[in-house]
Amino acid sequence: MLDQVKDLHRELENVQVSTQEELESFRLRFISRKGVISELFQGLKDADPGERKELGRTLNQLKNQAQDKFQELIKSLEQQAPVVSAPEVDLTLPPGGTGLGSVHPLSAIWERVVEIFGRLGFNVSDGPEIEDDWHNFTALNFPPNHPAREMQDTFFIEKDPDIALRTHTSNVQIRVMEHKKPPIRTLSPGRVFRNEAISARAHCIFHQYEILYVDENVGFKDLKQTLFHFAKEMFGKEVKIRFRPSYFPFTEPSAEIDISCLICKGEGCNICKYTGWVEIGGSGMVDPNVLENCGIDSQKYTGYAAGLGIERTAMLKYQINDLRLFTQNDIRFLKQFASLGF
């Protein structure tokens, strides 16, 4: 083994490299865990006990020599690297143009919604995205084990089944009614979460905007007129809107809101399921139980509520046929909205 060590000493003294590949070969042969020096250390256990101490000292010297040589070769390669001169820059020239970003279509719709309902007297309110069962379900007339809870594909927090990612922004309406006396006129835009399969029409993370109006003598006609006005402002005077009877635990009576499909102009497409109509949300008169849960006298006050999807609104407004484009961050898609305005 001593003869082998002496041969490696001589080899190390004469090694020269001129490329990164040769440097890597050196490292693999002498420095790596599978190199010749590591193999010699592993062979110490088979050496004669009387020679083991001297062999160990010699191998350590060889190891240090290899590491020093490796650093020396690195510096040698760096010195051999050609010096690249920087191009001359004329500092008197004006700066080059900078690429400006664009308004994301969802942000544009969000701001437009706030603007339209703001002119109708609705104030924006916000609330937590991680919510307790009371504000997300029970206060909204979802009793424990009620079948209506199955309508919401919920992301529950594993360690605490009473906590979940909110499935709608109605939780904000509950918090507003708990802390404010009527009249109440509030708009709650925000991100919501549902455990749904991602497709051209649905996503597990999306955005909603919900309106709530509570006061004396509020009727369904007030709800209809508000939504008619909103649809005309958002989609244009030619848009058609219809209400279909439906069921929601927190409103009674309840209605789905449909508008004529602006993508296919009523001829039929995958977004409107070839019906010519697109559901954009749900609405109805606030159930008296919900008012009472929030400490509001349901004998004196009534109210209406409606919830719509920002993604669905943007798809119709800008004639986009795949909801997934909003979250894929494809620069080719986003550049189309560089001049986006209201």
If one compares 287 and 339, the residue with the highest pLDDT of the two is 287
Q: Parallel, antiparallel, or unpaired: how do β-strands 156-157 and 205-215 relate?
A: unpaired
Q: How confident is the model over 21-48, as pLDDT tens digits?
A: 888 888 888 888 788 888 877 777 777 7
Same domain, 28 and 111: no
51 in a domain, yes or no?
A: yes
Same domain, 54 and 113: no
Q: Indicate whether 160 pLDDT > 50.
A: yes
Strand partners, 215: 302
**pTM exceeding the 0.95 threshold for the entire prediction:** no
User: Is the Cβ–Cβ distance between 104 and 337 less than 8 Å?
Assistant: yes
CA distance 131 to 166: 6
Same domain, 42 and 149: no
- pLDDT for 310 equals 93
Q: Indicate whether 3 pLDDT > 50.
A: yes
CA 62 from centroid of its chain's CA atoms: 55
End-to-end CA separation in angstroms for the chain: 83
Same domain, 186 and 296: yes
Q: Indicate whether 221 pLDDT > 90.
A: yes
Instruction: For residue 3, give the 3-state DSSP assignment.
Output: helix
CA distance 108 to 310: 10
Same domain, 22 and 170: no
Same domain, 68 and 110: no
How many Cα atoms within 13 Å fall on the side-chain side of residue 142? Answer: 20
Q: Indicate whether 319 pLDDT > 50.
A: yes
CA distance 18 to 205: 55
88 DSSP assignment: P
295 in a domain, yes or no?
A: yes
Query: Which residues touch 324 (CB under 8 Å, ≥6 apart)?
Result: 198, 199, 200, 203
279 in a domain, yes or no?
A: yes
Select from 150, 126, 269, 270 the least CA-distant residue to 208.
126
Select from 72, 69, 43 the least CA-distant residue to 58.
43
Q: How confident is the model over 70-80, as pLDDT tens digits?
A: 888 888 888 77
- pLDDT for 98 equals 65
Q: How confident is the model over 9-21, as pLDDT tens digits?
A: 788 888 888 888 8
93 in a domain, yes or no?
A: no
132 in a domain, yes or no?
A: yes
Confidence of residue 112 (pLDDT cuts 50, 70, 90): very high
Give percent of the chain above pLDDT 70: 93
Compute and round to an integer the Cα radius of gyration of the chain: 35
15 in a domain, yes or no?
A: yes
Same domain, 298 and 189: yes
80 in a domain, yes or no?
A: no
By the 10 Å C-beta count (0-12 exposed, 13-18 middle, 19+ buried), 103 is classed as: middle
Q: How confident is the model over 245-285, as pLDDT tens digits?
A: 999 999 999 999 999 888 787 788 877 888 888 888 999 99
Same domain, 33 and 155: no
For residue 292, CA distances in Å to 149, 249, 252, 296, 304 come to 20, 14, 14, 5, 15
Q: Indicate whether 230 pLDDT > 80.
A: yes
269 in a domain, yes or no?
A: yes
Same domain, 45 and 129: no
Same domain, 126 and 40: no
CATH of the domain at 227: 3.30.930.10
* Number of domains within the chain: 2
Q: Parallel, antiparallel, or unpaired: how do β-strands 184-193 and 123-124 relate?
A: parallel
Token digits of residue 38: 């590591």
Instruction: For residue 284, give the 3-state DSSP assignment.
Output: strand
Q: Indicate whether 342 pLDDT > 50.
A: no
User: Which DSSP helix (H) or strand (E) runs through 69?
Assistant: helix 49-80
Backbone φ and ψ for 245, nearest 5 degrees, come out as -55, 140
The DSSP line for 318-334 is: TT-S-GGGGTS--HHHH
By the 10 Å C-beta count (0-12 exposed, 13-18 middle, 19+ buried), 236 is classed as: exposed
Mean pLDDT of the chain: 86
Same domain, 115 and 49: no
- pLDDT for 127 equals 94
Domain with 134 in it:
105-337
Same domain, 14 and 131: no
Token digits of residue 140: 């909204």
Start-end of H helices in 81-169: 105-119, 133-136
User: Is the Cβ–Cβ distance between 140 and 170 less than 8 Å?
Assistant: yes
